[in-house]
Amino acid sequence: MSSFEPEQPVATAPIDLDAIERDLADVETALARLDAGTYWTDEITGAPIADAVLEAHPLTRRNPA
C-alpha cells in the first residue's frame, strides 16, 4: 500500500479556538505572575494561596470561596 489509510476512521471534533485562546491567556497570566513573584498570592486580597490549591488548579488567581 502506498498511501496511509487508518484501520479505523479518525474521529474529528470541532475545535473551540476561543477556549484555546482563553486557556493560553490564563497560562500567560500565570507565567507573568511567576515572574512578578505574585503567583502564590490571591490577586485581589493578597492572601497566600495554598500549595494544594495551586497544585490542583495551577491557573487560579484567587483563593477558593
Domain ranges of the chain: 17-56
**Other CB atoms closer than 10 Å to residue 49's CB: what's the count?**
19
**In this structure, are residues 49 and 42 in contact, taking their beta carbons and an 8 Å threshold?**
yes
Question: Across the chain, what does the average pLDDT equal?
Answer: 91
- 23 contacts 31 by C-beta, under 8 angstroms: no
Q: Is the pLDDT of residue 1 over 60?
A: no
For the chain, the straight-line distance linking the first and the last C-alpha, in angstroms and rounded, comes to 59
Nearest-angstrom CA–CA distance, 64 and 21? 24
Write down the pLDDT at residue 11.
72
- Higher local confidence (pLDDT), 40 or 5: 40
Nearest residue to 58 (alpha-carbon basis) of 24, 19, 26, 18: 26
